[in-house]
Chains A and B, each alone.
Chain A
Amino acid sequence: MADTDKPASTPLSVQDMILTLHAYWGARGCLILQPYDMRMGAGTFHPATTLRSLGPQPWNAAYVQPSRRPTDGRYGENPNRLQHYYQYQVIMKPSPADFQALYLGSLFAIGIDPLLHDIRFVEDDWESPTLGAWGLGWEVWCDGMEVSQFTYFQQMGGFDCKPVAGELTYGLERLAMYIQNVDNVYDLRFNNHGVSYGEVFLENERQMSKWNFEVADTETLFEGFRRAEAECRKALEAKVPIAAYEQAIEASHLFNLLQARGVISVQERASYMGRVRDLARGSCEGYMDKYRPEWEAKFPGWTA
């Protein structure tokens, strides 16, 4: 449970915010999962969202996913740009009728008073060509700042979502900066015992930015990409689509690193993205193929 040492009027620390969200969504039927143990660009890549949004069976989960965006690294010198940050991800399938109200309840739980702050749902449709996925929804504004993405998945891996899953993505650092009223991410209180976000992550940002931009051996990265691609295909042939999907995640991240190293030209970029998309889609197809008979039997009338 959240740290209760501090009086209620003090804004939540980063870790208490996470604990509060876990308690909130856990109480509403979500599995509280741990981060996936792979490097990935966004919480959506976690198989608990990508693969589990396929098929008819209900699925409700919430988790923190460390997200890596090598090109966003700023050597720890930018107050709000990071190559590694946290996304809080909620996925509910089928999307509940009161999904918006549930979401607003979570904001209230972490200390945002909707009669003091201006909360708005502003059109923002989501698309991930890499995952063959898209959905409609909003970016949620709090006093003009985007604090979450709210999406009703319509397609994943090229398949219509039947039923539709609702997805929430909170930018945790951004939200915490807002709640704690700090202008620099490294000044965030990570806990209530004097540890700042900077103490945890500043050195990581410096070193990882250097590695991402300057050190990482590009031949190794290219080789890694090729191997992940080959391994993904092998896994698909062996009908282990979850393993295949892991290789798609790996290839996607290696591609991001190659981008950060500046060794992929504009023309090549599209081709690499196409290759990652093929892996991700192939994995989704493999996943669907594997479970289709079971789902069709369990959910009469359901078709892929």
Chain B
Amino acid sequence: MSNSPTPFVSSEVETQSATADFLLELRSEEIPARMQAGARADLEKLFRREMQAAGLAVDDVTVWSTPRRLTLMAKGLPLATEAVHEETKGPRTSAPEQALEGFLRKTRLSKDQLTEREGVWFAIVEKPGRAAADVLAASIPAIIRAFPWPKSQRWGAASLAPDSLRWVRPLSGIVALLGGEVIECEIGGIRSGRTTMGHRFHHSGEIQIDGVDDYAAKLRAAHVIVDHAEREGIVREGARKAAADAALVLVEDEGLVIENAGLTEWPVPLLGRFDEAFLEVPPEVIQLTARVNQKYFICRDSAGKLANAFVCTANIEAHDGGAVIVAGNRKVLAARLSDARFFWEQDRKTPLSAQAEKLARITFHEKLGTVADKVERVAKLARWLVEEGIVTAAPLPVGEGSGEGAPPSQSQSTPTQPSPDRGRALLADQVELAARLCKADLVTEMVGEFPELQGLMGGYYARAEGLPDAVADAIRDHYKPVGQGDDVPTAPVTVAVALADKLDTLGGFFGIPEEPTGSRDPFALRRAALGVLNIVQRNELRLPLESALQAFVQICLDTAYERGHFPARLELDTSRLDEDVVAYRVYQISSLLNYQSKFDQELFVALSAPFERAKSLRVTEIMPLFGSFLPNPIVFPENLLAFLADRLKVQQREAGVRHDLIDAVFALGGEDDLVRLLARVHALQAFVTTEDGTNLLAGYKRAANILKKEGFAASPLPAGEGSGEGYPPSASGEHPHPILPQAGEGYQAEPAEQALVDALDAAEPLAEAAVAAEDFTAAMAALATLRAPIDAFFESVTVNDADPAKRAGRLGLLDRFRAAVHKVADFGRIEG
């Protein structure tokens, strides 16, 4: 029971039909180009919010920007807000005093403000319509004050006061017109009006604006194109045309189009030339120099080669046609390119191996050592990937394989043909070399100037000093894939280095632990994980992730020992690891790295004692032992494998694979081979969409429901595979297998019953063999043979027979059927 009244609100609407167009121009000193798009969106959002709060219906809103103004136009704005009549029903007049008090509190009225009607109290509020001009006069300053610029400043005499107005750069004028009438308002000493200014150099004096209709035209006459999209079009088309007029092809760059349009009120693209001799510098360097430093477009010749031409965008119609501007810009670009050429020449005087030594001076992460430390780990891990046969040399062309079966024929034999072992050793050496040099370009002058060129320059320098192409390519491409749609490496040397680099990053950051949370992923670990997944899938690598993580941990131990951080070499006992211990070790190793400076014998003993015991302890038991050494003993909330599994689900979902099918395979657990796992998912996806698949699923569900109703939980999943939420396996206990009799035990099996038994007898070994052979399509085909028998079984056989023997036998048969299906996938997770 409640004393509070049940209020209802009713509104009576007075229809308003009079409307007018509204124009707002906020003029300022130059707004950074990169902020203009956001500012347009923010202006519209704030305007709509203000109008909505005041009850003014906003229809069509247009927002424009130039470097010096933000303009909003709202057509057909009502001239007044709607009058509102609100009635709230209160308690009866006869109700207890407390009820009335409660109502008064709620409505914030006093008793004499209430109206009595037929023994009931009513709160009646009349809100008259407000003139739109008044609303706007209050809203404009509110919008300006609330504007969320990424960076804002104070300025001028008013900034003597602590709370003076902030804007992206000094605000210099406000035009606010509703139906041609000035909306009077004032903020930070600036009064609104109808006056604006034209182009900085092409126009002098004030411009009087009447309203929405003459605004753009009057500014155009004053050399200001106020619509940013129009200016973008002029830059885009003008740059294209300037190139075409010189018989060249513009390298399109929409980012530059927008930036140049954001830097100009009257854009004029102009083509210039630079000294052809600069073309000896790598084209990427020229493009970056032109783009980043000068905001120029570049051009190609008809053969697709970089041309010695650039397109700059002036903000004036120069009275000499732009000759002086082009000459000036050419000189600036020449100075920039001279610097680039100087770096290019200078950097090549030092071999990458010598550059790599300087990496010991660069911190990778305070807890993960220097870049040189990272390189050491990556080199070892990359070599491990080859030596374990995970990354192999590209398959040799047919007929040239040095297979062990057929002896090489005299004519075809090539004496230098490496044996498989020698091939692997060669690959391992190349991989290690590439890994040891892959970060060396970080200390070159060129990458110092243009960090975006990391990798690429290393590749150029490696080739220039005569390293094998495979090594140079690997250095160039080892950051790949850097984003969606980026090339995924396929060359073996590149694959090994790229994969090792990413695994090291993931292993390291999960170890310290620095895992991504929510939208925070400062070390781009999601991207690294996706890179691992893409490389593994694209190259069908059989990478056992758990072993890889163990190898990584051992490599951390070895590296720490070699660098003198450990007094002894510690070795993992991989036979006794469980996931917690792996996680713990990663954490411990990185902590050791972190403490390396004050590492001493005493600390080592203290740390290594629990290290031995760790083999039988869980993380939660171990961490307290480290309390005195670690600032914040943190238990891993989840481990790296689970993170990779999660990324895989996201990736597959985005690729259009049904999430329930992924779950159906993940639920089998125990699988850390992504290629095998995905093959199974893809085969399953193909199967469940067939008629056989759909019907088999229906049969499975029916069987599972009956078993569930009868209290028979799912039978254990195939041996060695966990039953957990998937992957990685939770410690798999021994589930007791429900003992059920066989069909036909103690009674005469019906024909359909016997047919299902026969079908299972045939399908089970087929499916099992197919799964073992990783031929999941064949495994699905084996399951498909069960479809007709299970349908027929349900058609003609009564499971819930009065005869307990029959009932038990048939339940046993259904359980066997369910178990057979589970060997391929957990159909219980499949929807539909």
Contact = CB atoms under 8 A, between A and B. Distances in A.
A18 B337 CA distance: 30
A267 to B, nearest CB: 9
Interface in B157-211: 157-162, 168-170, 172, 200-202
B34 interface: yes
B335 A80 contact: yes
9 nearest interchain CB pairs?
A143-B328, A123-B32, A144-B329, A121-B30, A163-B159, A118-B314, A164-B159, A163-B160, A114-B201
Contacts of A97: 156, 170, 172
Interface of A: 56, 80, 94-97, 100, 104, 114-123, 125, 135-138, 142-145, 152, 154, 160-164, 166, 178, 183, 266, 299, 301-303
Interface stretch (B315-323, B414-422, B759-767): B315-323
Given A136-B169, A143-B332, A162-B160, A123 B34 contact: yes
B324 A121 contact: no
Given A94-B157, A123-B34, A144 B29 contact: no
Given A95-B156, A116-B319, A152-B155, 16 more contacts: A96-B156, A114-B316, A117-B318, A118-B315, A118-B318, A119-B200, A120-B315, A122-B30, A122-B263, A136-B152, A143-B327, A143-B328, A144-B333, A152-B169, A154-B153, A299-B160
Contacts of A144: 294, 296, 312, 328-329, 332-333
B361 interface: yes
A38 B160 CA distance: 31
Nearest to B151: A136
Contacts of B294: 144
Interface residues of B, number: 46
B157 A163 contact: yes
B659 interface: no
Interface in B709-767: none
Contacts of A115: 201-202, 316, 318-319
Interface of B: 29-30, 32-34, 67, 151-162, 168-170, 172, 200-202, 263-264, 294, 296, 312, 314-316, 318-320, 324-325, 327-329, 331-333, 335, 361
Contacts of A163: 154, 156-160
B338 to A, nearest CB: 9
A144 B329 CA distance: 5
A136 B153 contact: yes
A100 B159 contact: no
Nearest to A161: B159
Contacts of A80: 335
Contacts of B328: 117-118, 142-145, 178
22 contacts: A95-B155, A95-B159, A95-B170, A96-B156, A100-B29, A114-B200, A117-B324, A121-B29, A123-B33, A136-B153, A136-B169, A143-B324, A143-B328, A143-B329, A144-B296, A144-B329, A145-B328, A145-B331, A164-B153, A164-B156, A266-B361, A301-B160
Contacts of A301: 160-161
Contacts of A152: 153-155, 169-170
Contacts of B263: 120, 122
A56 B162 contact: no
A161 to B, nearest CB: 7
A286 B825 CA distance: 75
B21 to A, nearest CB: 30
A303 B202 CA distance: 43
Contacts of B332: 143-145
Contact of B155 (A104, A116, A164, A178): A164
Which residue of B157, B160, B320 has the most chain A CB atoms within 10 A of its CB atom? B160
Which residue of B30, B153, B315 has the most chain A CB atoms within 10 A of its CB atom? B153
B200 A104 contact: yes
A266 B443 CA distance: 13
Which residue of A154, A299, A303 has the most chain B CB atoms within 10 A of its CB atom? A154
A302 B164 CA distance: 12
A94 B159 contact: yes
Nearest to B158: A163
A31 B793 CA distance: 104
Given A145-B331, A152-B170, A178-B328, A302 B156 contact: no
A91 to B, nearest CB: 14
